[in-house]
């Protein structure tokens, strides 16, 4: 069974369209029936094997985006949620809670990219099943070793990361509601606008409060060009967390100003908002370039910020840097997820250029509408 689970994520399927592709499809479709047949006792339905199987199948679905027009990742996340609930009733504390955390991250990115509903993360939070941030520091099964200085810094950094994740989830849920209300023709424009204003203010308050609470982790004491030189002196764990917080926060700010509801870019924006978007896009591209110039290709979380920065930037050189960096990450990626993301960004660029040539502005181009119309089950996750 373990070998069958590993075969599901067969490298050849995710990197080629050869006969290996067909073979792995067949293996994929045999996994769940085999799992059901192997269940001899009631507790087998929520065994560690069942949990890991659905987790691997979920990763397969996310990674194989380009190869599949339909996607069952949300089916697997629902099965994982069911299994986790049964295991909580039986075991109390979850030994494999890293799966809970990672599926929550995937669910967040799916919600941000409008591919998912956010039902998994919503249920996990409501049921108080999201593991405490510092819990992973003491999990010997994860084989994570930290230097004393790193171990001292990590609890706070993990708590900040969790706080930012919860803000991003709330923002993504609000965005989904606003887009849904805009499509609901039974609602008056005034009703939608009033709800939109309050919801947007609430998210802005969360983002501002986060920046006020953690200025030393977000503000740069030196110009962008030298910021990484300071951070790189940190141990590995804190360095990774600091970069993630720095980049993802700026991606959230851009998302808030550009991607919350249909037609948002067409709304008049204050000069300070335009400057904030430009500043965030510039910082993301500059710092990501410095990281990848140092061959830190394991930083897969750079894909989403780079996509958002490239989409929002008005500077041609920055847009090209963002695209080139995603292409660099694509070379070491697993599956077609990053490739599909890069192709989507290229499509957005082409439509922005065409719109500028025709109307003088690209504000009518929406990456979310483009993704929805493509029918690609893409989650910009960065595998």
pLDDT tens for residues 331-376? 888 778 899 999 999 999 999 999 999 999 999 999 999 998 888 8
Q: Which two tokens stand for residue 116?
A: 């998912």
Which alpha helices (DSSP H) does 184-270 contain, by range?
A: 189-213, 215-218, 224-231, 236-258
d(CA 339, CA 330): 6
The pLDDT of residue 231? 73
More confident residue, 57 or 139: 57
Please, which contacts does 289-297 make with residues 24 or more away whose CB atoms are closer than 8 Å? 289/321, 289/325, 290/228, 291/228, 291/243, 292/325, 292/328, 292/329, 294/232, 297/328, 297/329, 297/331, 297/332
Averaged pLDDT, 43-70? 78
| 199 alpha carbon, distance to own chain's centre | 22
Residues 52-62 have a mean pLDDT of 87
- Residue 268 CA to residue 173 CA, distance in Å, equals 24
Q: Say what the pLDDT of residue 299 is.
A: 85
Task: Answer for the pair 217, 227: CB distance below 8 angstroms, yes or no.
Answer: no
Residues 87-97: what's their mean pLDDT? 88
The H or E element spanning position 222 is none
Q: Is the pLDDT of residue 49 over 60?
A: yes
Could you give the CA distance from residue 157 to residue 172 in angstroms, rounded to a whole number?
Answer: 22
Burial (CB count within 10 angstroms: exposed 0-12, middle 13-18, buried 19+), residue 59: buried
What is the mean predicted confidence (pLDDT) over 307-318? 97
- To which residue do tokens 């990361």 refer? 161
Tens of pLDDT, residues 136-157: 775 554 445 556 767 788 889 9
- pLDDT value, residue 26: 53
Q: In the prediction, which pLDDT does 3 show?
A: 41
Write the pLDDT tens digit of every residue in 248-288.
999 999 999 999 988 888 888 889 999 999 999 999 999 99
Q: Look at residue 11 in the predicted model and tell me its pLDDT.
A: 45
DSSP H helices, the chain, are: 2-8, 11-15, 19-38, 48-63, 73-91, 97-112, 119-126, 148-183, 189-213, 215-218, 224-231, 236-258, 271-293, 303-312, 316-331, 337-359, 367-374
Q: DSSP states of 269-300 as a string? A: --HHHHHHHHHHHHHHHHHHHHHHHTT-TT-G
Q: How far apart are CA 306 and CA 68, in angstroms?
A: 24
Instruction: Tell me how far apart the alpha carbons of residues 309 and 294 are, in angstroms, rounded to a whole number.
Output: 20
Other Cβ atoms less than 10 A from the Cβ of 91: the count is 13
Q: Report the distance separating Cα 163 and Cα 71, nearest Å.
A: 29
Calculate the average pLDDT of the chain: 82
- Specify the pLDDT at position 249: 98
Query: At 9, is the secondary structure helix, strand, or coil?
Result: coil
């Amino acid at each position: 069974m373990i070998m069958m689970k590993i075969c599901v994520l067969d490298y050849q399927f995710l990197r080629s369209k050869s006969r290996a592709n067909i073979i792995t499809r067949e293996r994929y479709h045999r996994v769940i029936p085999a799992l059901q047949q192997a269940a001899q006792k009631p507790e087998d339905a929520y065994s560690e094997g069942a949990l890991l199987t659905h987790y691997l199948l979920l990763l397969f679905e996310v990674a194989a985006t380009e190869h599949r027009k339909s996607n069952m990742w949300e089916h697997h996340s629902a099965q994982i949620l069911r299994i986790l609930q049964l295991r909580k009733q039986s075991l109390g504390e979850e030994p494999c809670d890293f799966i809970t955390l990672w599926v929550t991250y995937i669910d967040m990115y799916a919600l941000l990219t409008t591919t998912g509903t956010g039902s998994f993360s919503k249920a996990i939070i409501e049921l108080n099943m999201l593991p405490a941030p510092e819990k992973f520091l003491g999990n010997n099964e994860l084989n994570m070793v930290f230097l004393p200085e790193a171990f001292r810094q990590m609890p706070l950094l993990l708590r900040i990361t969790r706080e930012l994740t919860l803000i991003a989830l709330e923002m993504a849920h609000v965005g989904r509601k606003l887009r849904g209300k805009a499509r609901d023709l039974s609602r008056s424009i005034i009703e939608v606008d009033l709800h939109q204003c309050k919801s947007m203010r609430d998210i802005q308050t969360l983002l501002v409060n986060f920046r006020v609470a953690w200025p030393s982790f977000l503000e740069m004491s030196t110009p962008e060009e030298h910021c990484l030189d300071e951070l790189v002196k940190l141990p590995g764990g804190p360095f990774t967390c600091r970069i993630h917080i720095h980049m993802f926060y700026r991606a959230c700010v851009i998302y808030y100003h550009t991607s919350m509801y249909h037609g948002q870019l067409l709304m008049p924006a204050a000069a300070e908002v335009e400057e904030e978007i430009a500043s965030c896009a510039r910082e993301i591209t500059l710092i990501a370039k410095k990281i990848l110039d140092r061959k830190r290709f394991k930083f897969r979380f750079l894909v989403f910020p780079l996509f958002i920065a490239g989409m929002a930037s008005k500077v041609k050189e920055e847009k090209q840097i963002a695209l080139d960096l995603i292409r660099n990450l694509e070379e070491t990626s697993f599956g077609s997820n990053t490739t599909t993301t890069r192709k989507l960004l290229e499509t957005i660029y082409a439509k922005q250029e065409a719109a500028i040539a025709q109307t003088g502005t690209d504000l009518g181009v929406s990456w979310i509408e483009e993704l929805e119309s493509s029918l690609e089950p893409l989650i910009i996750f960065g595998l």
